[in-house]
Amino acid sequence: MISLRQHAVSIAAIFLALAVGIVLGSGVLSSSLVSGLRDDKARMRDDLQAEQDRNSVLTERLNAADGFDAAVAGRVVRDTLTERTVLMVAGPDADPADLDAVVATVEAAGVTVTGRVSLTESFVDAAGADLLRTTVTNVVPAGVQLQTGAVDQGSLAGDLLGAVLLVDPGTGQPRSTPEERTLALTTLRSGGFVSFEDGTVEPA
């Protein structure tokens, strides 16, 4: 018959063996785990360095290409668009520096820039589609017919901007009156769809 003392000793021995096993096992596991993590870290460091080197090479190539473009653009396009007018229409995420570069290039070609109109996030945001569509249809100049196939708000607004901001290629005269142009642009600006400076936008 097993006495209570022997039973207690057996339980203590089991727990002692379990503790020793955990200590030994965790030591071996910890060593292999740390070694594996070190190897992974070294590989990731090498991969990161390789990507950084590749990025540096590509950046240098891009800068060289940009420098070449800047150096020769003026001579390449000089006087190719004399007596033409251009109106800049920029998307909401357009970089101002890029817009300035485009203006400089077209001006080097002999173009007269008649102004800038910037589209806002609301112009391209689907959430404001109904409001933009309603705004456009309320300020269409008399006699202007928007494209019947243009059902999305962007196409409708583009038709309106074309009607009030472009000159007729046949006659060279504006397609709208100053009053119609002012009404369309100020209404779109009031709705938060475009931005521009007063008195700086003329047909092109």
The verdict on 51 and 87 lying in the same domain is no
The verdict on 30 and 66 lying in the same domain is yes
**Beta-carbon contacts of residue 183 (< 8 Å; ≥ 6 apart):** 139
Query: Residue type for 21, please?
Result: G
Q: How many domains does the chain have?
A: 2
The verdict on 66 and 91 lying in the same domain is no
The verdict on 88 and 72 lying in the same domain is no
Tell me which of 24, 51, 77 is where a domain ends. 77
Per the domain annotation, does 204 fall within a domain? no
pLDDT at 185: 92
pLDDT-derived band at 190 (thresholds 50, 70, 90) equals very high
Dump pLDDT digits (tens) for 15-62.
776 766 665 565 655 666 667 778 788 888 888 989 998 999 898 888
pLDDT at 6: 67
The verdict on 90 and 183 lying in the same domain is yes
Q: Is the dihedral of CA 188, 194, 198, 203 positive or negative?
A: negative
Tell me which of 77, 101, 122 is where a domain ends. 77
Mean confidence (pLDDT) of the chain: 82
The verdict on 48 and 109 lying in the same domain is no
The verdict on 168 and 72 lying in the same domain is no
The verdict on 63 and 94 lying in the same domain is no
Q: Which domain holds residue 50?
A: 1-77
| End-to-end CA separation in angstroms for the chain | 110
Spell out a b/e string for 133-167, using b for 16 or more CB atoms within 10 Å of the CB, else e.
bebbeebbbeebebeeeeeebbebbbbbbebbbeb
Q: Compute the average pLDDT of residues 183-187.
A: 92
Percent above pLDDT 70 for the chain:
84
pLDDT at 119: 93
More confident site: 149 or 76: 76
pLDDT at 144: 77
The verdict on 88 and 68 lying in the same domain is no
Q: Compute the average pLDDT of residues 51-80.
A: 81
pLDDT at 28: 57
The verdict on 158 and 88 lying in the same domain is yes
Residue 77: count other Cβ atoms within 10 Å of its Cβ.
16
Tell me which of 57, 77, 97 is where a domain ends. 77
More confident site: 126 or 75: 126
Dump pLDDT digits (tens) for 92-121.
999 998 888 888 888 888 888 999 999 999
More confident site: 31 or 84: 84
**What is the length of the chain?**
204
